[in-house]
Structure 1
Amino acid sequence: MRTISDTLARTTRLKPGKAEPVHPRSRLLTLTDFGSNPGGLKAKYYLPKSLAKKPALVVVLHGCTQIPADYDAGSGWSKMADEHGFALLYPQQLRDNNGNLCFNWFLPDDFGREKGEALSIRQMIAAMVSRHKLASERIYVTGLSAGGAMANVVLATYPEVFAGGAIIAGLPYATASTVSEAFDRMRGHGIPQARELRTILRAASGHTGPWPTLSVWHGTNDGTVSEANARAIVEQWRGAHGLGSTPDVTETVDGQARNVWKGIDGRDRIALYSIRDMGHGLPLDVASGYGKSGPYMLDVGISSTAHIAHSWGLTRKPARRRQNRSAAKPPSVRVTPADRPFSLGEKIRTVIGYALRTTRLKP
């Protein structure tokens, strides 16, 4: 097992290049003048030609090396927004804040309420709701990897803002405050026990409820962010919702395992999707018509975008694959040369390692 010093040495030698874009031209507009912006972030947004009555807002947080346009093209969120009339907000990390465009989910000055990047995102949301007359009770957030961890940050620090969240290959809130701790947590080492996780969450805002609903998505073969983090996120939020340790529903959805914890009213509160054999990335079903394969965008036969949107009431039903599928045989994960352990896995670890090593502390 590599030590932190080993990893840092490797990242020093193997500085990654820029991520290749996967979009022909961005559909996104720039959001300006949204507040004091203590986190020094930029913001993009998307409004479909026709907004629904009481339009929802979905906040989407990209992963390391990505920019909003890449993430939108790969995930298919703006296409779904066109069809169902909701708005999108894409906070954008800058290299001045983080060497490889990772949100700083592990820096105390960025993961606290009324601080840094968390407050910047809150200010963006307020500007979008005010300027475009969006429904303040229909605000949701999702993110991948470092973006998933930052989605958990804003859910924890501003739970009164969000009706729901979806964390993809992310980490529990406020369990790392240094670079070395961030590496450890990503590997699944040193994650606090359930009681401490819940105490950390409750201390983030002083909120008394109701709490946002949550779905957690993670690949069982993720070599970059250990699957133990997905279970820890569930434990952290299960306490806030007052849910039991055993899921109320265990089922297979589009060939993948889904565990659901329900509230006393019978509504889904937390859902955990375990994507069999998937590495580090966003689960897609390209055949559904939403998203396309690319770096960290993995066509594994289940559309996280469609299922997440449906769980939030943004669509009438989740998209299904366009071709016939045998119910008895789950879809297999499509492995390309770039997905094999010693290429994609090592590349992602190198990228994130370099990003953490070059993170710049804000004054």
Structure 2
Amino acid sequence: MQSISDTIKRLRKLRSAHSSAPMFEDRLTDLGPFGSNPGALKAKIHIPNGLMPRAPLVVVLHGCTQTASGYDHGSGWSRLADDYGFVVLFPQQTPSNNANTCFNWFLPGDIRRNQGEAFSIRQMIETVTSTYDIDRSRIFITGLSAGGAMANVMLATHPELFAGGAIIAGLPYGIATTVPEAFDRMRGQGLPGAGGLQTLLLSASKHDGPWPAISVWQGTKDHTVVPANAFAVIEQWRGVHEVEFPPVTQRIDHHQRIVWRGADGREALVLYQLGGMGHGTPIDATSGYGKAGPYMLDVGISSTQHIARSWGLIASFEKRVNLDPGTLREPSANTFQSPYSSEQGTGIQPTIEKALRAAGLMK
């Protein structure tokens, strides 16, 4: 079992490696003032040349030890925006808020509606939306790790803002209030049961629908934010989307994609299980969008492209979905089992492992 000190040492080591990496072209510019900014964040933005009115907006949140520009370089979001004509907003954490530049996804004062960092991000979005004539029905958010957890904070506290969200190696909303609790939850310890997770989401705002579509991206070998959190995020949103098992399982670029559809037939929840991947954002270095580096893992699938396609921002691309007809099926109840089939507190790891074995991702 990894201790908190071990995790902190690993984060610092990765930050040091990242800071000594070669310089790259910074494609982002400062947003400028964006309201009262109670969370004391910074913001960067990328505006494509010749931006058309009513363009979509994508909000991208970096992970711990990263910067907005570094994450853009690794993920390729600004280059995709140039090719397809949408705006990208990058909130930027500061060392004065968090020594490892993690968004404070677990601090009560930063994750409530109209408070702290969450409200700062809300103010950034409003500034960009008003300044650049953004289509308010096409605002999306994604993030990695602490940025993924903060993306989930925004989706939970301001669901009316977003048409969709993509959480990469992130965590459920509202499950921790202190640093020790945050590290426990990252390791899968003390996660609430289904009812508790869904209550936390419903308590975050007074919204009663419609709800943003959610995709969750998780490496099966992630030892920093363990796969239990991906299942928990899906379960947290499954209640409001009123999806039912069984989902549909597909193979996509040699990884597994599990889809839950809503009553209207749309993809309400999607879980990407990335076989053998550790902690980071999945990229395809051959796609032209993104570069491998710390937390940017070349596993042959471009999460940036797939996320943008699912939001209707780009058309189909060559490596869009490599389906094996034998794997596209309605799985039986034994193929995928929710680790949250009944109310529970701690001790869910055996059920998580059972679900992964049933999906063919563990032996």
Q: What TM-score comes out, normalization by structure 1 length?
A: 0.85
Q: Partner of 2:214: helix, strand, or coil?
A: strand
Contact 1:307 1:319 in 2 (8 A): no
Please tell me whether residue 7 in structure 1 is matched to residue 4 in structure 2.
Answer: yes
1:57-89: CA deviation from partner (whole Å, max 9, x where unpaired): 000000001111111111011111011000000
How far did 1:153 drift? Answer: 0.3
**Counterpart for residue 361 of structure 1:** none
Structure 1 residue aligned with 2:57: 57
Distance 1:51 1:166 in 2: 24
Going from structure 1 to structure 2, the CA distance change for 1:49 and 1:254 (only over 3 Å counts) comes to same
Aligned residue number for residue 197 of structure 2: 197
Match of residue 38 from structure 2: 38
Is the CA contact (8 Å cut-off) linking 1:105 and 1:146 kept in structure 2? yes
CA contact (8 A) 1:38 1:115 kept: yes
Matched, 1:74 2:74: yes
Shift of 1:143: 0.2
Q: CA deviation at 1:242?
A: 1.0
Matches within 5 A, 1:343-362: none
Letter in 2 for 1:8: S
Identify the residue that residue 166 of structure 1 maps to in structure 2: 166
Q: C-alpha separation between the residues in 1 aligned to 2:222 and 2:244?
A: 27
Provide the residue aligned with 1:264 in structure 2. Answer: 263
Structure-2 separation of matches of 1:291 and 1:327:
26
User: Counterparts in 2 of 1:330-345, with a 5 A limit?
Assistant: none
Residue identity over aligned pairs, in percent, reads 57
Give the CA deviation at 1:113.
Answer: 0.6
Distance 1:27 1:120 in 2: 22
Is residue 115 of structure 2 the alignment partner of residue 118 of structure 1?
no
Q: Could you tell me which residue of structure 1 aligns to residue 311 of structure 2? A: 312
Q: For residues 29-53 of structure 1, what are the alpha-carbon distances to aligned partners after superposition, in whole Å with 9 as ceiling and x for unaligned? A: 1011100000000000000003245
String of CA shifts for 1:230-279, please: whole Å, max 9, x gaps. Answer: 000000001011111421x2111111110101111111111000000000
Letter in 1 for 2:164: G
**Pair 1:9–1:217, CA change in 2 (3 A):** closer
Closer, same or farther in 2 for the Cα pair 1:102/1:86, shift >3 Å?
Answer: same
Q: In the alignment, residue 269 of structure 1 is paired with which amino acid?
A: A
Q: How much does 1:326 deviate?
A: 11
State the shift of 1:15 in Å: 5.2
Of residues 269-278 and 17-26 in structure 1, the stretch that sits farther from structure 2 once superposed is 17-26
Counting only pairs closer than 5 Å after superposition, residues 68-217 of structure 1 correspond to structure 2 as 68-217=68-217
2:11/2:65 contact within 8 Å kept: no
Change over 3 Å in CA distance of 1:125–1:31 after alignment to 2:
same
Q: 1:13 to 1:196 in 2, by over 3 A?
A: closer
Residue 7 of structure 1 deviates from its aligned partner by: 2.7
Distance 2:45 2:10 in 1: 37
Structure 2 residue aligned with 1:232: 232
Partner of 1:223: 223
Larger RCO (alpha carbons 8 Å, 6+ apart): 1
Label 1:232 to 1:318 Cα distance change in 2 as closer, same or farther (>3 A).
Answer: farther
Unpaired stretches in structure 2, ≥5 consecutive residues: 328-363
**Distance (Å, rounded) in 1 between the aligned partners of 2:241 and 2:176:** 23
Q: Secondary structure at the match of 2:260?
A: strand
**C-alpha distance in structure 2 between counterparts of 1:300 and 1:12, whole Å:** 25
Q: 1:194 to 1:42 in 2, by over 3 A?
A: same
Match of 1:25 in 2: 25
State the alpha-carbon separation in 1 of the partners of residues 83 and 146 from structure 2.
28
Deviation at 1:12, TM superposition (A): 7.4
For 1:343, the equivalent position in structure 2 comes to none
8 Å CA contact retained: 1:303, 1:319: no
* Structure 1 gap ranges (5+): 331-363
Residue 9 of structure 1: how far off its partner (Å): 7.5
Cα distance, 1:287 vs structure 2? 1.0
Please say if residues 260 and 268 of structure 2, whose CA atoms lie closer than 8 Å, have aligned partners that are also in contact: yes
Q: TM-score, normalised by structure 2?
A: 0.85
Is residue 284–residue 297 contact of structure 1 (8 Å, CA) maintained in 2? yes
How far apart in 2 are the matches of 1:229 and 1:137?
A: 29
Please give the per-residue CA displacement for 1:202-233, whole angstroms capped at 9, x wherever unaligned.
11001100000010000000010010000000
